[in-house]
Structure 1
Amino acid sequence: MTALLLVAGLVLLVVGGEVLVRGAGTIATAAGISPLVVGLTVVSFATSAPELAVTLQASAAGSPGLAVGNVVGSNVVNILLVLGVAGLILPLAVRAAVVRRDVPVMIGLSLLFWLMSLDGAVSTVDGAVLVLLLAVYVVWTVVGSRRGDRAEVLTPDDQPAAPEAGRSRRLVVSAVMVAVGVAMLVLGARWLVVAATDIASALGLSDTVIGLTVVAIGTSLPELATSVLAALRGKVEMAVGNAIGSNIFNIGAVMGLTSVVADGGVPVDAAAVAFDLPVMVAVAFVVLPIVFTGFTVARWEAGLFLAYYSAYVAYLLLDSAGHDALPRFSAVMLGFVLPLTALTLVALATYELGVRRGARTASSRGPAGPS
């Protein structure tokens, strides 16, 4: 029965992701909003539905470790795994607006979530603040798009725009497709999480580790399926917007609403405050220089994301098992891999700044006159 749930969940995720991407892409065209903004708002909220359901259920069931681990783990998965896999399929072009606005919002909310957790809980008031900030962000994003500072909208498959009546009809059909896609994603993720959690519990993993790994990956599979299918269909803006927007929604809506609904807020384990939340913040920060260099997540950068996610999961499993290899593994990561990566990112950002400064200088001088 567990194996059947696992397979059925995967099938629903793939089919639901395809339906959602098609519907959301048409909505972007019919409503005059760029695919990036749809990915940052409509698709992100839709694909964050499993995280919200699982986190609310875990909090109500008295498993705060699972609730917090799901949000933190999902945010790590969305960047390292989702963007990693999608970026390997197709280099992900990033609009300047993402670097100016959306990535800093993700970083700011990640830092705020961590700061709120330092006293051992995300209180009801903290949750209300997170929800309010999310609402402001959504309005800001949509209004900015309507003012024309977002990408120019193209019709699906470069088809010409339909007349007004046909466009309204298409908008209704697309909204139904989004709703059906979301339902399939939520049900598929639920079946997959139930099956995977049963397997993980049988292996003796703790609630926090299950939340950070099995449940986080399971509830992030809608984002993974949606971003991968968006990349395969050439909608790279939607793939990037979905991952970044989902992280923003996970903190603002999932953690915020859960903290508001839960009696006395959501307690946060000291180990999560000391390690897992800082990892989430670091992952949010590492996106900035990656997308800043050429406004593209290149294939080698996507591969780096996947390598780091593998190392993160390996650390969690070694720590959970109390394995003798953990000290050596940690020493290699902290003493060699992380510093080398940081130096590489700084060098890339410095080079990019130099290139842009040179381009601006050449542009300001203008074409050389005749001698």
Structure 2
Amino acid sequence: MDFINSHINHILVIGGLMGLFLGGEALIRGAVAVAESLKIPKLIIGLTIIGFGTSMPELLVSLQSVQQGVPDVAIGNVVGSNIANILLILGFGALLNPIATSARNIRREVLVMLAVSGGLVWLAWSGAISQQAGLIMAGALLAYLLLIYLLEGPKTADAALPKSSLSPWVAIIWIIAGLAALIIGADCLVRGATAIARDFGISDAVIGLTLIAVGTSLPELTVTILSSIRRQNEVALGNVLGSNIFNILGILGITAALHPLTIAPRFLQVDLPLMIAAAVGLTLLILRGKPIGRLTGLLFLLVYAGYTLWLVKGPALLDVLRLS
């Protein structure tokens, strides 16, 4: 019992990560089964249920962190997740198997991702995301999804989407269980991670940019590993682009619409510039039309490792330089 009490925050973090991972998986499985039973086109499943399901951890963590008075965790969660999606997850995927960039409409998706990333930087310069801006962002996401459906229609049904043999009632139970696991997991992760961060003198922003960002990106990482094993890495690329778009417009939009978000100036020093640089780099790779090879994947991973090291050691190093 003494061991549990002394390590309660670490247990909360581990339990929270497991809850997010298992809850996201259960939600996606159940939602796909319900959608299939209702004859909903697979395009809609992919754009809404799969995209929303893999980003649900980020949404719940952001809402929980704002309610608990740590908005830096909400901003850091989205910015860190978008950086991790490109540098860590795509880097890992490319290292396993080169990622094709010739998938249909992938260029459109990456240009939209680049545009919304630039929009977030512009909002960061203003210092806050107001409720009005949040509503506009959420509305832009809905308009984007509607436009995709009108342009593509049911003809782009994706065979790579998961199939389900669950009955509708069992699927509903999966959805309820998944949502419960996500809500509990998000609460545990935010509580445990912020407590650990404060014990070690680490800022809320850094813990959101690292541990929570990677933890809430577990669904995307799962998609990357599975698609790499099946040699369908273009699925991971589409999932990452969609997730980055959804993180900014959906996660921050919904969160700001409910609770206006203040963006700390520290995010403009390294984190947002790196997010834009990663988005620009990925855009150039996709526009070039050649696969993202293992060497590029290794470079992505090295840049992410350097970034993580900077988050942990950089501020202390700057203090030493100032004193000297």
* TM-score grouping bracket, smaller chain normalisation: 0.7 to 0.9
Question: Which runs of 5 or more residues in structure 2 are unaligned?
Answer: 1-7
Q: Does 1:153 align with 2:159?
A: yes
Contact 1:189–1:221 (Cα < 8 Å) also in 2: no
Q: Which residue of 1 aligns with 2:5?
A: none
Identify the match of residue 291 of structure 2 among 277, 280, 296. Answer: 296
Query: Identity of paired residues, percent?
Result: 38
Q: Normalised by the size of structure 2, how large is the TM-score? A: 0.80
Distance apart, 1:224 and its partner CA? 1.8
Q: Hey, what's the Cα distance between the residues in 1 that align with 2:280 and 2:134?
A: 23
Q: 1: distance between equivalents of 2:19 and 2:253?
A: 28
Shift of the alpha carbon at 1:60?
2.7
Structure 2 counterpart of 1:153, one-letter code? A
> Does 2:206 correspond to 1:199?
no
The SS at the match of 1:94 is: coil
Q: Indicate the residue corresponding to 1:247 in structure 2.
A: 244
Aligned positions of 1:48-59 closer than 5 A: 48-59=55-66
SS of 2:210 mapped into structure 1: helix
Deviation at 1:191?
Answer: 4.0
Residue 260 of structure 1 corresponds to which residue in structure 2?
A: 257
Alpha-carbon deviation of 1:249?
0.9
Corresponding position of 1:223: 220
Structure 1 unaligned residues grouped into runs of 5+: 158-166, 328-371
- Superposed CA RMSD: 3.4
Distance 1:297 1:24 in 2: 32
Higher relative contact order (CA 8 A, sep 6+): 2
In the TM superposition, what is the alpha-carbon distance from 1:234 to its structure 2 partner? 4.3
Read off the aligned partner of 2:272 and give its amino acid letter.
Answer: L
Deviation at residue 7 of structure 1 after TM alignment: 4.5
Going from structure 1 to structure 2, the CA distance change for 1:205 and 1:82 (only over 3 Å counts) comes to: same
Structure 2 matches for 1:254-333, cutoff 5 A? 254-262=251-259, 265-322=260-317
CA contact (8 A) 2:106 2:238 kept: no
Deviation at 1:108, TM superposition (A): 0.4
State the AA in 1 paired with 2:300.
Answer: F
Q: Do residues 123 (structure 1) and 134 (structure 2) align?
A: no
Instruction: String of CA shifts for 1:172-202, please: whole Å, max 9, x gaps.
Output: 8767656655654565555455444443332
> For 2:166 and 2:221, how far apart are their aligned partners in 1?
29
Q: How far did residue 56 of structure 1 move?
A: 1.8
Instruction: Specify the alignment match of 1:92 in structure 2.
Output: 99
| Residues 1:139 and 2:136 aligned together | no
Q: Which amino acid aligns with 1:133?
A: A
Give the deviation of 1:276 after TM superposition.
Answer: 2.0
- Cα pair distance change 1:282/1:179, threshold 3 Å: farther
Distance 1:295 1:179 in 2: 42
Q: Any idea what the Cα deviations from partners look like across 1:16-47, whole Å, max 9, x if unmatched?
A: 5665676678768975536xx75554222112
- Relative to structure 1, the CA distance from residue 317 to residue 7 in structure 2 (aligned partners, 3 Å threshold; closer, same or farther) is closer
**Secondary structure at 1:93's aligned position in 2?**
coil
Task: State the number of aligned residues.
Answer: 313
Matched to 2:314, the amino acid is: D
- Indicate conservation of the 8 Å contact 1:11/1:188, yes or no: yes
1:225 & 1:192 partners in 2: Cα distance? Answer: 19
2:42 to 33, 40, 55: 33
Report how far residue 52 of structure 1 moved.
1.3
Q: Is the 8 A contact 1:17 1:229 kept in 2?
A: no
Partners of 1:131 and 1:275 in 2: CA distance:
26
Larger gyration radius, structure 1 or structure 2: 1
Tell me, yes or no, if the aligned pair for 1:20 and 1:226 is still in contact at 8 Å: no
